[in-house]
Amino acid sequence: MTVHVIVNRRARKLVEGSDGALLRVIERFAARAALHETRSFDDLDAAARAVAEAGAGAVILAGGDGSYGAGITALGRAFDAAARPLPPIGLAGGGTVSTVARNLGLRGDGARFTERLLDAAIGGAARERAQPTLHVADANGGDRTGFIFGTGLVAQFFDVYDAAPRQGYAEAARIVARIFAGSFTGGALAERVLAPMPCALDVDGARARAAAYSLIVSSVVRDLGLHVHVVHRSGEDPRRVHLVASPLDARRLGPQLPLVLAGRRLLGRDHVDTLAARFRVTFTGDVAKYVLDGDVHAAAWVDVSAGPVLRLLTP
């Protein structure tokens, strides 16, 4: 059966004016695969329906981290409507950092990796393994599949990152370094990003003790970027998600960065560090937003649980 490639032309390495290496690789396979270019969610939904109707043998998603969850969500709806099982899915890097893709097999140059992935998928030589996901639903009707969920400092970090003149690995590392240093000295950036956020956290139907959290994160990949391994049990149980939440302020949470880099548990009272079937964050203050795979969403509450288990392709 045909391999389909869904290309997000708004991803950093796939837009007009980029160096074009990744797009040239994808276009070289046009005679051997079905290509679908998308520039909007409407385009993505139409591409997903076309893929489902065609009965794809495999789907390669080319874009940044947010493209993968959006693509899998759209494909899930389309294949459910067509009463067909979701085919194997491969992830081709096209973003500035590609945190999800690098956790799930991307190595080295993104264009070269994509070439090997496409060649293996089309030739029937790609390897396949089970990959858990997150299911994220919110008060505004959002119903999404993804890999990395966060709020509190995660949402505040992306506010700073998105406002920076440049995006990428180096800029993200620079911001983290400023926050870490400022947590010892009372720096304004650290105090802003690490301020506990008023919210209620319900885990498997039980209310957690704290009334505000500086960090709430759940992920099915271990490295959240920059070697941050706070979700050290991610992917351990496909039916439950690893949840880590901390109520600590900047002066107490920031200095624990070495523990996070080493993949060890955070220290302090009223932490949550558990595998959960489901949890809900209900925002009770001025901030009511969360991040899923680098994309920021706003809602009064958000539910997170285990999502579908993918058949993930790698070269």
**Residue 218 lies inside a defined structural domain of this protein:** yes
Structure tokens at 101: 């893709």
Give the count of domains, the chain: 2
Q: Domain check: are 159 and 69 in the same one?
A: no
Per-residue pLDDT, averaged over 78-101, amounts to: 89
| CB-based contact 65:100 (threshold 8 Å) | yes
Tell which residue, 249, 261, 258, 279, has the closest CA to residue 149. Answer: 279
- Give 138-169 pLDDT, tens digit per residue: 999 999 999 999 999 888 888 888 888 887 77
Amino acid making up residue 281: V
Mean pLDDT (the chain) is 90
Q: In terms of C-beta density within 10 A (0-12 exposed, 13-18 middle, 19 or more buried), how is residue 113 classed?
A: buried
Q: Give me the pLDDT at residue 254, please.
A: 87
CA distance 31 to 57: 16
**Residue 194 lies inside a defined structural domain of this protein:** yes
- Give 91-109 pLDDT, tens digit per residue: 997 777 778 988 898 877 8
**Residue 131 lies inside a defined structural domain of this protein:** no
CA distance 168 to 161: 9
Per-residue pLDDT, averaged over 176-187, amounts to: 86
Q: Which of 125, 147, 175 is the last residue of a domain?
A: 125
Q: Domain check: are 211 and 82 in the same one?
A: no
CA distance 172 to 247: 23
Q: Give me the pLDDT at residue 184, please.
A: 84
**Residue 315 lies inside a defined structural domain of this protein:** no
Q: Which of 77, 101, 125 is the last residue of a domain?
A: 125
Per-residue pLDDT, averaged over 231-241, amounts to: 90
CA distance 134 to 113: 25
**Residue 149 lies inside a defined structural domain of this protein:** yes
Q: Domain check: are 207 and 156 in the same one?
A: yes
Q: Is residue 259 scored above 90 in pLDDT?
A: no
CA distance 128 to 108: 20
Tell which residue, 71, 65, 76, has the closest CA to residue 37. Answer: 71
**Residue 150 lies inside a defined structural domain of this protein:** yes
Q: Domain check: are 218 and 91 in the same one?
A: no
Residue keyed to tokens 């893929």: 51
Q: Domain check: are 23 and 59 in the same one?
A: yes
Q: What confidence tier does 203 reach under pLDDT thresholds 50, 70, 90? A: very high
Q: Domain check: are 154 and 275 in the same one?
A: yes
Instruction: Say which residue, 42 or 177, is predicted with more confidence.
Output: 42
Q: Domain check: are 185 and 301 in the same one?
A: yes
Per-residue pLDDT, averaged over 72-83, amounts to: 95
Q: Domain check: are 258 and 302 in the same one?
A: yes
CA distance 16 to 12: 9
Q: Domain check: are 44 and 147 in the same one?
A: no
Measure CA 292 to chain center. 5
Q: Which residues of 281-293 are buried (b: 16+ CB within 10 A; e: fewer)?
A: bbbeeebbbbbbb
Q: Give me the pLDDT at residue 160, please.
A: 87
- Give 32-75 pLDDT, tens digit per residue: 999 999 999 999 999 999 999 998 999 999 998 899 999 999 99
Q: CATH code at 250?
A: 2.60.200.40
- Per the structure, the complete domain to which residue 110 belongs is given by 3-125
Q: Please, what is the Cα angle at 277 between 273 and 283, to 5 degrees? A: 70
Q: Domain check: are 146 and 16 in the same one?
A: no
Q: Domain check: are 258 and 183 in the same one?
A: yes
Instruction: Report the chain's C-alpha Rg in angstroms.
Output: 19
**Residue 26 lies inside a defined structural domain of this protein:** yes
First to last CA, the chain: 18
Cα–Cα distances in Å, from 224 out to 16, 150, 231, 260? 28, 10, 8, 10
Max Cα–Cα distance, the chain, nearest Å: 59
| The model scores a pTM over 0.85 | yes
Q: Which of 102, 125, 148 is the last residue of a domain?
A: 125
The phi and psi torsions of 266 (rounded to 5 degrees) equal -70, 155
Q: What confidence tier does 185 reach under pLDDT thresholds 50, 70, 90? A: confident
CA distance 285 to 4: 44
Q: CATH code at 34?
A: 3.40.50.10330
Q: Give me the pLDDT at residue 226, please.
A: 72
Q: Give me the pLDDT at residue 276, please.
A: 96
Q: Is residue 261 scored above 70 in pLDDT?
A: yes
- Give the three-class secondary structure for 123: helix
Q: Domain check: are 114 and 142 in the same one?
A: no
Q: Give me the pLDDT at residue 290, please.
A: 96
**Residue 190 lies inside a defined structural domain of this protein:** yes
